[in-house]
Structure 1
């Protein structure tokens, strides 16, 4: 049980470092799925233990933001594809089997499915 608490304390300290580096508490609360009140109490508890040189740099923030933007774009694309597939399914278009070839579709007169 002690090991789990140590890991949890390390996570808390990481969150506090991010808060002290300027990331908004609400953003971190969503990222780590914890209450903003919890994060604020962690900041009060751990802020004296953190040295300024240990705080993430602006470059690290920019890299994280770019990573999150790319992830959000992938999510949006995936949701759009899933939505398109759902609409096709609702219109009665059968999903293709992984073994269906393009030639067999053209031969069956279903070339407009693409």
Structure 2
């Protein structure tokens, strides 16, 4: 049962990584691409780390519990650091003069 849950969470992580990649390829400018990458990669990384933390809890020993807690601590760091890094990169691009995309009249 635990393996099925881990596989399901990993499949969700792969889905969000794929959606983020698709967003990077399809969106028109730097800011929207970074938004897609930042949101999807953060969620996918969290799901993948959660799946690994669950997978290490096979026998429920104290050592496995400590490893899982360390993995969840890494997930917490990713949860804080990834959006902060995306914000810093976006702010730097704005300061450097990277223009946001605007839809032109007559085009859909």
Give the number of the structure with larger relative contact order, counting CA–CA contacts within 8 Å between residues 6 or more apart: 2
- For Structure 1 versus Structure 2, the TM-score category normalised by the shorter chain is 0.3 to 0.5
TM-score normalised by structure 1 residue count: 0.32
Of the two, which has the highest radius of gyration?
1
Structure holding more helix per residue: 2
TM-score normalised by structure 2 residue count: 0.33
